Amino acid sequence: MGTEANERALEDGIVTDLKDRMTYGSYLDLDRLLSAQHPVSQPQHHDEMLFIIQHQTTELWLKLVVHELGTARDRLAGDDLRAALKHIARVKHIQEVLTQQWSVLATLTPTEYAEFRDDLGSSSGFQSVQYRCVEFALGNKNERMLSVFRDHPENLAMLTREWERPTLYDEFLRLAARRGLPIPAEVLERDVRQPYRESAELVEAIREIYEHPHEHWDLYEACEELVDVEDNFQFWRFRHLRTVTRTIGMKRGTGGSTGVDFLRRALDLTFFPELYSVRTEIGR
């Protein structure tokens, strides 16, 4: 066994004089970011820090998802499907991280959470404007959700923009129509502020893509990427449901929802219904 010190010497080129320079901390605004955790329990409960950081990191990832979905739609509108798929692929990786994060919150036992849950008042993830923006961007439009943010003009404006904007699916189908696919006019001309409704005619257009993949390879790939996004979203919803179930059982949510039952009904929502319905038709 050697007697050398267990340390690594700094290389000569490493900058150590950081006065008047941009640093890692200043670039990332870490002083503000790391001081943004404000537990409200009195006396402060140890596990409230976990609860806060779990939700703050989720919001940071959601911010990036909103950013990527916005650019993906811009690329589709500009007929740049390849670039759009890159942004969609990034969203898929973020979704995986978000789903895995539930395992951290699941270490919070029912007993521990009960000791500070009442201190949260009526705050709830239901009130996350960024989550609503993601749902709107993917197709789950709901005008009634705008009222949740009526007392926060900035959030209301943000969600209203998403409500009025074509969804990711809208932009994909418009691109497919420009490529010559028989996308029904009722789909292309629909009011994008409304929740998406399945079209039997569109299933036949999607079937054309799936039954002739070599003629529509990038559209075929895009369809499968969108299915991945929806599957990932459903995995996230289910993991959320199971984490809530093991933490609070059948109690009502802090925001007033029925809790587990409310989350379970969300599993019936779909973004891209024809991409699933077409599977029944393929090979018939």
Is 210 known to sit in a ligand binding site?
no
Is 45 known to sit in a ligand binding site?
no
Ramachandran sector of residue 283 (left: φ over 0; alpha: ψ -120 to 50; beta: rest):
left
Tokens coding 229? 């996004």
Is 276 known to sit in a ligand binding site?
no
Contact 133, 66 (CB under 8 A): yes
Q: Cis peptide leading into 43, omega within 30 of 0?
A: yes
Q: Identify the burial level of 31 via C-beta atoms within 10 angstroms of its C-beta, where 0-12 means exposed, 13-18 middle and 19 or more buried.
A: exposed
Is 240 known to sit in a ligand binding site?
yes
Is 87 known to sit in a ligand binding site?
no
Is 55 known to sit in a ligand binding site?
yes
Helices 48-77, 81-105: axis angle to 10 degrees equals: 170
Is 183 known to sit in a ligand binding site?
no
Binding-site annotation: residue ranges for substrate? 51-55, 113, 117, 254
Binding residues for heme: 240
Output the known binding site: 51-55, 113, 117, 240, 254
